[in-house]
Amino acid sequence: MGKIIETQISVRYAETDQGGIVYNANYLIWFEVARGEFFWQQGLDYGKEVEGRGLFWPVTEAGLRYVAAAHYGEMVTVRAWVDECKSRSITIRYEVSRDGQTLCTGFTKHLNVDRSGRVVAIPQDLRDLMLG
């Protein structure tokens, strides 16, 4: 397990549902926010350096375990780290917590595809940034 990057997220009213808690799909969005921050702090600007050279890292698999609920106004922390970086795929893991209590854990797996949708090898410089 490499470097862990933490992102703070303030829960939005729009993210709640009528059950009074954060709607389940929003955790995938939080994962993405944390992933973007992870990339950024590793020196990788996803928009410019991945999509900008005609590559995309679509999510090909995701898993989530919801342990406890988040609520409007709370500040949650999302930790993200690289779980696995193969030649053509990368798996990121996440943990959402509030004041040290785990709310949700999960992962997303990404394939490296080009504009035509073909799965290709992740450029070495991007792999280095991921694992750095």
* Interaction site with a second copy (CB under 8 A): 10, 12-14, 16-21, 23-26, 28-29, 32-33, 36, 45-47, 51, 56, 58-66, 69, 71-73, 108
DSSP 111-127: E-EETTS-B-PPPHHHH
Nearby residues of 77 by Cβ (< 8 Å), 6 or more positions away? 6, 7, 8, 9, 96, 97, 98
Residue among 66 and 81 whose Cβ is closer to a second copy: 66
Residue among 6 and 124 whose Cβ is closer to a second copy: 6
Smallest separation, CB 93 to a second copy (Å): 14
Smallest separation, CB 118 to a second copy (Å): 13
Residue among 82 and 111 whose Cβ is closer to a second copy: 111
d(CA 110, CA 83): 12
d(CA 80, CA 92): 7
